[in-house]
Structure formats: structure tokens, C-alpha cells
Chains A and B, each alone.
Chain A
Amino acid sequence: MKVITKFACQLGAEFALNADLTVNKDDRYFLLNKALLKVAQKDFYYAGVYLGKVKNGKFFPSFNLLKVLAEGEANKVVVKKKAAWLFICGRDIFRKGILVTHGSRKKGSHTLVLNEFDECLGFGRIVCSLDGTAKDEVIVKNISDIGDFLRREN
């Protein structure tokens, strides 16, 4: 569970995880509710809310987890329509694509990326302070985006 709270922390978010309802299955983490916990047997393949997986010692968050974190206080950048589309296509965020920022603006911080409707599209790393002025500068390096659902199918 520590990997999840640690990841949330990197995004400037607090995430209180109920250990009794969190299940680690082959390094994949699931958050169950009480009703699910009653019926879920140890050989399940998927259950409740998928939170993410650990691979080679690194935590890969699910988009469910990112959505939950985006609903609370966290580092966030809200981006314009075109930037949102490009981000989903795996591209980085330029300064000119940003509408609003919340939380850390420092280089090296991780931040959630949201569209103009406050829907979480993924997350990235701030590679250049958000306080700079150059418009054509990559500001957020894409780490993971919801376009991954399409890439997984190929």
C-alpha cells in the first residue's frame, strides 16, 4: 500500500487507503468495497477499483487512481482543447497549452493533466518551472495518458 500513498504524495495529494479493503494480487492493487470483499475469492482476476501495478520495483498508477487524486487537492495543470488532444496522443504539454495550474509549479514535480472539463487525462513531470515565460517550451513531459487504452489494444 505504501507505494500508492508514496505516489500520491509525489503528486502533492493525500490518499488515505483503507488497508482492510485493499488487495494486492500479483503486484496489482485493487480497492474493494465491503460487498465485493465478501464475494471476492483469492483467485479473482480483477476486482473493484484497479489502483495500479508494481513492475520492476516501479509503481504504475491506474487511470482510476489518477481520477480519484484529481478530485482532491493535488498538483494539476488544466490544459486547452488542442493540448488535451495532443497529450492523449502521447505528446508533451507546452506552456501555451496551459490554462490553469494548481499546486507545485517547480521543475521536477509530478502533476496531473486535466482537460477544460476537469477530466483527468493522465500525468506528467514538470520539466521547466511553470513560472517561466517562453511560450514554445515543453513544460510537462508526458508520463502516462488515457490514450494508453488504445495502445494496449494493439
Chain B
Amino acid sequence: MSGKQFFVDRYRQLGWEFNDFQPRQAIRINVINAKGKNLEERLQTLGFQLEKIPFLETGYWVRKAKVSVGATGEYLSGLYSIQEAAAQIPATLFTDLKGRTVLDACAAPGGKTVQLADLMGNTGVIVALDVKKRRLAALSNHLERCHVANVVVYHLDARHTSRLKLKFDMVLLDAPCSGNFATDSHWFERRTLNDVKRNAKLQRELLAEAVTCLSDDGEVVYSTCSLEPEENEANIDWAVKHLNLQTEKVDCYGQEGLTEFFGSRLDVSVKRSRRIWPGGTQGFFVCKLKKREEKQ
């Protein structure tokens, strides 16, 4: 239940032929900080060749750079962040973030937290949690570098979010997951199906807690960078059946979610999620959910 061939065979059964892909480096403009700064022009002057990512408003692939992308004055001043293209998708799926109370449940190192703050125009409140204390330093540095003003960070396991006694309009659950081979060259040697199952269990616990803290008309965006259906579509199916959630249609890059895998049939609404196989980006999965509307 492990090894490269085992997983490659699984992907083939799911309809994808394995190819050893390296994701392209991508950046995201921090719109608030970069406003009126001619950032693209400045980066070109530094020797950057940028290519607009067609499915993102503020994302660019770095085709070529003469200097380290993470060591320019522009980066250190918070004008842009380094963020993989697919990872830029989840925060953009919320309906209207301005002035809202948002939970970023597994926030460190903070790329999506900063993106949320930018989309919110530094209004409202983001509560950012992470269970690993050493990762909070990276999150804090990221917030300081990008001059974010609307975040409160706690060292807290998101399975205990209720302790904060808050209700959230939006929850971003970018869940801890098995990852994928495109961002980890030793992935196939490290991962087993048992890891996948263990992560799937944790992800369900996180989803359940997210729903407990969600306001009645709130939205949850669930994402992972795993390719394994147990951590993705199967969890969404479980949430639809056990957490009184419904999937929402999203207009974003990726294929429809699977509604059948390895002999299991899932709720048909799971196809509203988005599965991204490694190609233009790393592997990724995202789904937007709301509490089910009660029928009159």
C-alpha cells in the first residue's frame, strides 16, 4: 500500500496518467501594498520575466529571474508574495470578504492569510490558527512583512476552535494533508495509504469543528494539496452526508471532482468541487461549502 507504482496505478484508475512535473514558481501581487507602485515594471527592471496566470487576477508565473524572487526590496516591502498558483485559488472563492469575520483554520506559514487580508482590504477580522508553535514565527514574519493589520493569531489546534466562542462568516480550511509528489521529490518514498487514511480522519475532525463555528449563512472553503480522493472528494461526500453541508458551484481552474473512485459512489454534488492534477500547477483540491438551506 505504498511506493511509486502503487500511487501511479491509483492515479491511472482515477483517470490521470502520471508525469513527473515540477510546478512553476509563482508570485501574487499584494494589491493594497502595490497600489500605484508600478510593480510589474519594477520587477522587469530587476530582470524578471513574468507571465500572467490566466485563471488568477493577481497571480504571475516567474518565467525567468536574474535575482532570487524572495530577496528583492519589493518582496521584503510586502509588495508581492511567493505563492504557488493553485494555492492562490481557495481564498478567491469566498463571496464577499470585506468587513467579515474569517477563520483561517490551519494558517501557517501564512500565504493564504495574507491573501485573505489583501482581499478584505485589511477590514474585518481574520482569526488565524496553527497547532505548531514554531510555524507561528513564520506566520508572524509574513504578516509583518506584508503590513497586515486585521489578523489575530492563536497557537491552537483548529479542532478546538469552539474554545474561542466566536462565530465565523467564512472559514478557510486548508487542511494538513499528505501533499503531492510535485512539491516533494521524495513523496513516493515517504507516503503510504495509511498516512492518507490518518490525514483523512484528521481532516474530517477539522471540517466538523469548522461547521460548529460557522454562522448560519457562512461559507467554508476546504482545500488540500493532496491528490488522494480519501482526503478530498470522500471528505466532501462525508461532510454533505454528516455535517448538513451543501457544495457550492465555483468558477475556477480545475476539473470537476470525482463522484466515484475505487468502487465507491459519492454524492453527485461532490462534482462541484475542483480537482487539479499536476500540470500547470501542483496537485490541488478545493471545494466551497455552505450549511444546507432548510426546505420550507
Contacts and interface: CB of A to CB of B under 8 A. Distances in A.
B268 interface: no
B15 interface: no
A90 interface: no
A53 to B, nearest CB: 11
B250 interface: no
Contacts of B76: 88, 146-147, 149-150
B73 A85 contact: yes
User: What band does the interface of chain A fall in when counting residues whose beta carbon is under 8 Å from B?
Assistant: 20 to 34
Interface in A65-105: 67, 84-85, 88
Contact of B145 (A47, A63, A85): A63
Interface stretch (B136-144, B212-220, B226-234): B136-144
Interface stretch (B19-27, B57-65, B152-160): B152-160
Given A46-B140, A50-B144, A149-B145, A36 B77 contact: no
Contact of A39 (B37, B127, B140, B149): B127
Interface in B110-165: 124-125, 127, 136-141, 143-145, 147, 149-155, 164
Contacts of B140: 45-46, 50
Nearest to A32: B152
Given A45-B154, A47-B152, A39 B166 contact: yes
Interface in A13-46: 32-33, 35-36, 38-41, 43-46
B165 to A, nearest CB: 9
A61 to B, nearest CB: 11
A147 B71 CA distance: 8
B150 A45 contact: no
Most chain B CB inside 10 Å of its own CB: which residue of A85, A147, A149: A149
Contacts of B138: 153
Contacts of B141: 149, 152-153
Nearest to A30: B152
6 contacts: A33-B150, A35-B124, A39-B101, A48-B150, A63-B145, A88-B76
Given A33-B150, A150-B76, 13 more contacts: A36-B125, A39-B152, A41-B154, A41-B164, A43-B155, A46-B140, A48-B151, A50-B143, A63-B144, A117-B42, A147-B76, A149-B76, A149-B145
